[in-house]
Structure 1
Amino acid sequence: MTVVNRSLRWEIEDQMKQHGYNINQLAELTGINPGNLSMALNGISRSLTINQLDALGKLFGKVPGWLYELYTEECISEEKLSRPRLVPYLVRCAEVGRNDCIDAVVSKILDSQRNVNIIYSAAEKLFHKGKHKQSEGFYELVVENVKDSFSEMLSMSHYRLFTIAIQGTDAEKNWKAVIRFDPFRNRLPENYQLDAVFQLARVCYSLKKWVEVEKYAGELEVLSTTLCSEEVAPKRHPVYYYGMAFLYKGLVLERRGFYEQSKKYVENYANLEWFEPLDEAGQKEVEQFKIWGKANLYTLEVLSGNESIINEYADYLASLNRLNDVVAGLNAILASANMYKFNVDHVLTRFAGSIGRFDLFNHDPILSERHLRYRYSRAIYEFSNGRIQEGLDETLRCISLAKNMKRYEDGFQCVALFETYRERASAQQLKTYRSAMRVREEVFLE
């Protein structure tokens, strides 16, 4: 029996004495088998699990993580280590913030390459419990310590890190995540490849990286047909990824101004009933693409200058009753109004309630980019209609959004727009502007 083990046992026995519990009472109150508890406290076996230690700590009124620094010896001895104990222990250490204990374990076990899978298992358990931030450090350890560049464990760790990194709207961070993960996308297990390439396309679309979007959309089209089998079970039905491949190709053409070419892709993903096999889940995806297809055909008509269809498009957006669709639709309507000098005040008034909720798009990269684009287009629209103060207010919102999202190119564009009308700005607008610019200068000086 080592000193550390005796210390762990001594601490528990000391608490038993203070609270007046015998082993049978302790076992009954914690739900631990009395025989196992007796052997653990008498040093006969290393039978105390981390959950049992937590149960004891809770009974004794201790904070989460109590005695964790003494528990390492329950998992690691000079002769061997216990994977069934180490993985739950590392998970709990991460959950309660005992990073000191994690560091102690890592320094002992990572001398051997075969122990990296213990770190990976802890990371996976945390990830699947939704503890993404806590899992990140473990995945980084795997990446640092796996030497085989084609290891599935390595590629999956890169995929998890990419997934964690793109959960926010920081454009700089998201682009770095794309660059880091890209070399590993084709090394993933097949059932993860579809969603990984889809996420790459999605992030690049939010960053306006059109060449990359087209590349990933092409891969998505191929993978969604070649990886369609009973052995490969992607996150969603393969028809979803097939449709998204065409949707992104169409969106890139739309953003580049090639509206007629874009329509061909819209017609493709709006009619996917032929895709096989189609179960109930697949049929739901097909129906969703019909809705998106109809909305995007309206978008392309409006962008092409068809003013007569704007009210019909607004009716359709209202019928969908989805904030995501409203911001996309209003962007098209405003872009058209700015290009062809339409008056769409009645549409903006109609959707004023929805517009007031666009600030909810503060976590999703695509929706946040759409919100930023809406504010910029709205500012131009207000200026074009002689409403200078309203235009300046919208421009200031653009600057704030671009700063928060680290979209510097968009930020410069917003600043240029404000400077155009700076002489008409109120004292309060100038104060807000100077404050925003001071923050931006600090960012650029880093």
Structure 2
Amino acid sequence: MVATIATIRDALAMYLSQQGMSIHQFSIHTGINSGTLSRLLKGQQPIAMDHLVRITQGMELPEDHFYSLYVDECFLHSPPTWRRLRPFLLRSAELGRLDCIEQVVQQLLEKLTYAPMLFEVAEGLFQEGQWQAAALLYKNVSDCEKYQNSERLAVCQYRLFRIALGDNQTRNLQAAHIFECYLNRLDEADQLDGIKNLVNVYYSLHKWEKADKLAQDMLHLAMLRYNLQRKSNRRMTDEKKSEKPLCFYIYYSHLMRASICEEHNDYKSALKFVSLYTDTSWIQKDDKEAKRTIAQFQEWGKANTLLYQVMSGKQEVLSEYIEHISTQRDELFVALSNILTSANRFGWNVDHVLEQFAAYIPYQTYATEFGGYNQQIMSDQHTKFLAELAAYHLHNKRKEGIQFIIQSLESSARINNESTAIKCADLFGKHRDQADEKAQVQYNLQIGPYL
């Protein structure tokens, strides 16, 4: 008859019996005091996380082998203590044992007093990039406090919004709608970052009016905080700080509004916004962060001034623009996309440009002084770029354009970009005669979901 293993103690007792080991021998093997080990086996002392680690190692088992039983140990066989539960939650997150985290959280949240402590753990996991585990904690804390008008609830929803963002545009929109209801409950510093992320989402979704309105809200809030900070003789030590310097949000608002004008082919207005995000006359605090911010926006301003002239049809500026961006490796993909759009619009031949920068055509991760380009915007940019590349090659009677249509459709399906898929369908219809049988089959597979 096989003995039932109901507790970690049962498993340890069985192991010692099978191995013919005494408590003293196992004590030497694991480094656990023999008296402590004896009390653990008799149930006279709770099993701490350090004990669990040593016991598991001593039995030569995977580290998380007893994790499910340890949940019972923390709640059924001894009173729950945060001293044991906190390290257990952190280690469960590192090992991907979300099931154990869920079990612990469900029992802890029966008492609201644990919500702040779980929130603190979630914040630590979020900062460390363990977003799956953090999301589980944020969701449970949110459910616990859903009837509370608290800032903690708003921060949970903000973090869940950030975690939810990915390539799927429909899910991004859903996440944005949920988060917006909590935006005004955040501290103003977090509001700025929240608005910035919302602007990026709505911009990537081509919801220009919404993105423009949010960009204006960001400008208003950032200017308000900047002016208050400037008038203050000293900064309050307990004042929460935004992720980036305040001047960043002011400049970024103008940058995004310029980009929205660009989408409407209003390059005259776009250039006016360029002049705003390259204006440094109002900067009062010239510290290291401000200098970095100014330098990055000055660079973008110089490049975009040339770009908007190119996109207005001034082909004579193209060579100067190419020379300028050729040293900006992280800007090249975006630049190529815009050059290709202009080439298709005005009938230019830019084969030499595509050949010169062929290595930058594949979709990659691009960085700036402030980190990588927004993922949603870049995914959308890449999808549109493939469609533009298809149009360019087909206009020049090159059959490889068909494959770029199919690639753009694949990318459109991945991020749920219906507008580019429709453009691809129209383009394929005009050049169907250049598609062989294999390409026809590939196209029908990709376009199927949109029919």
Q: Does 1:358 align with 2:372?
A: no
Instruction: Tell me, yes or no, if the aligned pair for 2:421 and 2:447 is still in contact at 8 Å.
Output: no
Instruction: Tell me, yes or no, if the aligned pair for 2:259 and 2:270 is still in contact at 8 Å.
Output: yes
Instruction: Tell me, yes or no, if the aligned pair for 1:139 and 1:160 is still in contact at 8 Å.
Output: yes
1:29-50 deviation digits (Å, cap 9, x = unpaired)? 556567755654454433x332
Residues 245 and 30 (structure 1 numbering): CA distance in 2 closer, same or farther, change over 3 Å?
farther
Partner Cα separation in structure 1 for residue 384 and residue 287 of structure 2: 37
1:158-169 to 2 correspondences below 5 Å: 158-166=157-165, 168-169=166-167
Residues 67 and 257 (structure 1 numbering): CA distance in 2 closer, same or farther, change over 3 Å?
same
Aligned with 1:373 (options 384, 392, 397): 384
Instruction: Tell me, yes or no, if the aligned pair for 2:154 and 2:183 is still in contact at 8 Å.
Output: yes
Instruction: Tell me, yes or no, if the aligned pair for 2:200 and 2:374 is still in contact at 8 Å.
Output: no
1:67 positional shift: 2.1
Partner Cα separation in structure 2 for residue 281 and residue 32 of structure 1: 50
Partner Cα separation in structure 1 for residue 438 and residue 163 of structure 2: 39
Partner Cα separation in structure 2 for residue 189 and residue 412 of structure 1: 41
Partner Cα separation in structure 1 for residue 254 and residue 148 of structure 2: 32
Instruction: Tell me, yes or no, if the aligned pair for 1:224 and 1:239 is still in contact at 8 Å.
Output: yes
TM-score normalised over the length of structure 2: 0.86
Instruction: Tell me, yes or no, if the aligned pair for 1:74 and 1:85 is still in contact at 8 Å.
Output: no
- Give the equivalent residue in structure 1 for 2:171: 173
Aligned with 2:435 (options 416, 419, 425): 425
Partner Cα separation in structure 1 for residue 128 and residue 32 of structure 2: 25
Aligned with 1:409 (options 402, 419, 444): 419
1:148-297 to 2 correspondences below 5 Å: 148-166=147-165, 168-228=166-226, 229=229, 230=235, 231-272=239-280, 274-297=282-305
Instruction: Tell me, yes or no, if the aligned pair for 1:87 and 1:121 is still in contact at 8 Å.
Output: no
1:382 positional shift: 2.1
Residues 7 and 273 (structure 1 numbering): CA distance in 2 closer, same or farther, change over 3 Å?
same
1:26 positional shift: 5.2
Please give the secondary structure, in 2, of the residue aligned with 1:220: helix
Residues 199 and 104 (structure 1 numbering): CA distance in 2 closer, same or farther, change over 3 Å?
closer
TM-score normalised over the length of structure 1: 0.87
Please give the secondary structure, in 1, of the residue aligned with 2:243: coil
1:436 positional shift: 1.7
Gaps of 5+ in 1: none
1:288 positional shift: 0.7
- Give the equivalent residue in structure 2 for 1:52: 51
Aligned with 1:315 (options 316, 323, 344): 323
**Deviating 4+ runs (over 6 angstroms):** none
Residues 125 and 12 (structure 1 numbering): CA distance in 2 closer, same or farther, change over 3 Å?
farther
Instruction: Tell me, yes or no, if the aligned pair for 2:7 and 2:73 is still in contact at 8 Å.
Output: no
- Which stretch of the first structure deviates more once superposed, 394-403 or 59-68? 59-68
Residues 189 and 75 (structure 1 numbering): CA distance in 2 closer, same or farther, change over 3 Å?
farther
Equivalent residue letter for 2:309: E
1:241 positional shift: 1.7
Please give the secondary structure, in 1, of the residue aligned with 2:286: coil
Residues 42 and 172 (structure 1 numbering): CA distance in 2 closer, same or farther, change over 3 Å?
same
1:38-92 deviation digits (Å, cap 9, x = unpaired)? 654454433x332431232123211232222332354336995312222332343
1:184 positional shift: 1.2
Residue correspondences, number:
432
- Which stretch of the first structure deviates more once superposed, 395-404 or 12-21? 12-21
1:384 positional shift: 2.5
1:267-301 deviation digits (Å, cap 9, x = unpaired)? 11123364232311220111011111111111110
Partner Cα separation in structure 1 for residue 29 and residue 279 of structure 2: 62
- Give the equivalent residue in structure 2 for 1:392: 402
Q: Does 1:435 align with 2:445?
A: yes
1:428 positional shift: 2.2
- Give the equivalent residue in structure 1 for 2:341: 335
- Which stretch of the first structure deviates more once superposed, 215-224 or 251-260? 215-224
Partner Cα separation in structure 2 for residue 122 and residue 19 of structure 1: 39
1:13 positional shift: 4.1
Residues 110 and 398 (structure 1 numbering): CA distance in 2 closer, same or farther, change over 3 Å?
same
Partner Cα separation in structure 1 for residue 352 and residue 266 of structure 2: 28
Residues 149 and 343 (structure 1 numbering): CA distance in 2 closer, same or farther, change over 3 Å?
farther
- Give the equivalent residue in structure 2 for 1:7: 7
Residues 13 and 332 (structure 1 numbering): CA distance in 2 closer, same or farther, change over 3 Å?
same
Instruction: Tell me, yes or no, if the aligned pair for 2:380 and 2:417 is still in contact at 8 Å.
Output: no
Please give the secondary structure, in 2, of the residue aligned with 1:235: coil
- Give the equivalent residue in structure 1 for 2:232: none
- Give the equivalent residue in structure 1 for 2:393: 382
1:283-334 deviation digits (Å, cap 9, x = unpaired)? 0111011111111111110111111010111111111122xx1122122222
Please give the secondary structure, in 2, of the residue aligned with 1:227: helix
Partner Cα separation in structure 2 for residue 16 and residue 227 of structure 1: 65
Aligned with 1:300 (options 308, 332, 338): 308
Please give the secondary structure, in 2, of the residue aligned with 1:282: helix
Equivalent residue letter for 2:332: V
Q: Does 1:346 align with 2:332?
A: no
Partner Cα separation in structure 2 for residue 37 and residue 273 of structure 1: 70
Residues 29 and 263 (structure 1 numbering): CA distance in 2 closer, same or farther, change over 3 Å?
farther
Backbone CA RMSD of aligned residues: 2.9
Equivalent residue letter for 1:271: D
1:328-351 deviation digits (Å, cap 9, x = unpaired)? 212222222222222222112111
Instruction: Tell me, yes or no, if the aligned pair for 1:86 and 1:118 is still in contact at 8 Å.
Output: no
- Give the equivalent residue in structure 1 for 2:332: 326
Equivalent residue letter for 1:303: M
- Give the equivalent residue in structure 1 for 2:86: 87
